[in-house]
Amino acid sequence: MEDIMIIGIAGGSGSGKTTLTYKIKEAFEDKVVVLSHDYYYKANSDLSYEERTKLNYDHPNAFDTDLLIEHVRTLKSGQAIQHPVYSFVEHTRLDELVEVQPAKVVIVEGILIFENKELCDLMDIKVFVDTDADVRIVRRLLRDVKERGRDIDSVIDQYLNTVKPMHEQFVDPSKKRADIIIPEGGFNSVALNMLMDQVGNFIDK
């Protein structure tokens, strides 16, 4: 079995965890693969589009975390996986799958990945990105309107009704499982460089 490092990067929506993840990915290219928890949203294909828009996507039950755990284990054993593809516009999975080959470092990122102990136990390093709520809501607003075809009112409504309460109930308490807490994520150059050094040393050993 190949020696593979699993890094978990968690934090609230809009915290900067994806920026941190992809700065590491860009630095080490094919030595790093990324699995986003967002790929593993349940399809809910038995529901209408209108019904799917009303679901709570910030609750642990919105995800097929068991499949993510299975895929992390498969990659750790040196075998390829095929992860689902999720459409945030249609609120369901697409028919396609994406093949991911194992690499020296696997980064798992998502808002709720530390909420699941079984998934946490597979991780060698657990990083929580801690960012002020006002910064997170502005980033989420810009992302959802520009990239996911949402209108401002629906984003604000979702934030107040599900994102904020789920963050307080599940996301923020999960940071107690973190090994490292980084304010501002990928925008924190000191913390980013320290994490890069650790990843680089592992890859080069």
137 — pLDDT class (breaks 50, 70, 90): confident
Please indicate, yes or no, if residue 21 is contained in any of the structural domains: yes
Tell whether 53 is covered by a domain.
Answer: yes
Torsion angle defined by CA atoms of residues 136, 140, 142 and 145, in that order, rounded to the nearest 10 degrees: -160
pLDDT of residue 80: 97
Report yes or no on 37 lying in a domain. Answer: yes
pLDDT of residue 2: 59
Contact 112, 37 (CB under 8 A): yes
CATH code, domain carrying 58: 3.40.50.300
Range of the domain at 17: 5-194
C-alpha closest to that of 46 among 87, 90, 92 = 92
Condensed to tens digits (0 to 9), the pLDDT of residues 62-120 reads 999 999 999 999 999 999 999 999 998 899 999 999 999 999 999 999 999 999 999 99
Give the pLDDT score at 1: 43
Strands 92-100 and 32-36: unpaired
Sorted by sequence, the CB contacts under 8 Å of residue 196 that are 6+ apart come out as 23, 24, 27
204 occurs within a structural domain:
no
Residue written as token pair 């002020």: 132
pLDDT of residue 16: 86
Answer whether 64's CB lies under 8 Å from 40's CB. Answer: yes
Q: Residue 27: inside a domain, yes or no?
A: yes
Reduced 3-state DSSP string for the chain: CCCCEEEEEEECCCCCHHHHHHHHHHHHHHHEEEEEHHHHECCCCCCCHHHHHCCCCCCHHHECHHHHHHHHHHHHCCCCEEEEEEECCCCEEEEEEEEECCCCEEEEEECCCCCCHHHHCCCCEEEEEECCHHHHHHHHHHHHHHHCCCCHHHHHHHHHHHHHHHHHHHHHHHHHHCCEEEECHHHCHHHHHHHHHHHHHHHHC
pLDDT confidence band for 134 (50 / 70 / 90):
confident
Cβ burial of 50 (10 Å; 0-12, 13-18, 19+) is exposed
Confidence (pLDDT) at 106: 97
Which residue has tokens 């699993």?
A: 6
Mean pLDDT, residues 45-49 taken together: 93
- Say how many domains are in the chain: 1
Q: How many CB atoms lie within 10 A of CB 95?
A: 6
* Domain contains 205: no
Convert the pLDDT of each residue in 139-188 to its tens digit.
Answer: 878 887 877 778 888 878 888 888 899 999 999 999 999 999 998 767 78
Decide if 47 is inside a domain.
yes
**Joined tokens for residue 68:** 């993510």
pLDDT band of residue 197 (cuts 50, 70, 90) is very high
| In-domain check, residue 203 | no
